[in-house]
Amino acid sequence: MNVLENKVPPPIVALLIGAVMWGVARLSPLPEGESPLRVAISSGLACLGILVVVLGMLAFRRAKTTINPVNINAASSIVTSGVYRYTRNPMYVGLTVALVGWAVHIAVPFVLVGPVVFMLFITRFQIIPEERVLTSKFGEEYRKYREQVRRWL
């Protein structure tokens, strides 16, 4: 399965999983009508997720390092400021939160599996390979960062 490592950009993975969640929901009985509370919660989660993604991207831009998750070897520095003080992977956390928002909007309980599948896939095929490269490239500096900041939250 190493063939999938760093091959599919995480936003594409999130979109595919979101589409599958929608497809599964269409096969399930849908809730009656729109609940204003559900719409507010789902919209809030989606906006929060997108905000976290954008903050992660901006931190990478400020550090003048690549945001391309498929080409980790191009990383020129370790970003530890901003949202990277709380999670080593804010862009993936943000995509996960957005998928949770999508699941709340769909309102079919089974689709909550989607964000979990996203986290498992991204951990195995994106984060672990990234960590190998960053450890090899930045050594002790990255090891210390890993000790101080969690992978997810």
- Tens of each residue's pLDDT in the chain, 153 residues: 688 898 899 999 999 999 999 999 989 877 777 789 999 999 999 999 999 999 999 999 999 999 998 888 899 999 999 999 999 999 999 999 999 999 999 999 899 999 999 999 999 999 999 999 999 999 999 999 999 999 999
**126 in a domain, yes or no?**
yes
CA 140 – CA 1 distance, rounded (Å): 29
**30 in a domain, yes or no?**
no
**29 in a domain, yes or no?**
no
Q: Residue 31 has what DSSP assignment?
A: P
**153 in a domain, yes or no?**
no
**13 in a domain, yes or no?**
yes
- How many domains does one find in the chain? 1
- 94 is in which domain, residue-wise? 2-23+35-148
Distances (CA, A) of 126 to 8, 11, 69, 71, 115: 9, 12, 8, 11, 15
pTM attached to this predicted model: 0.94
Are the CB atoms for 23 and 75 separated by under 8 Å? no
Q: b vs e for 74-106, b when ≥16 Cβ sit within 10 Å of the residue's Cβ?
A: ebeebbbeebbeebbbbbbbbbbbbbbbbbbbb
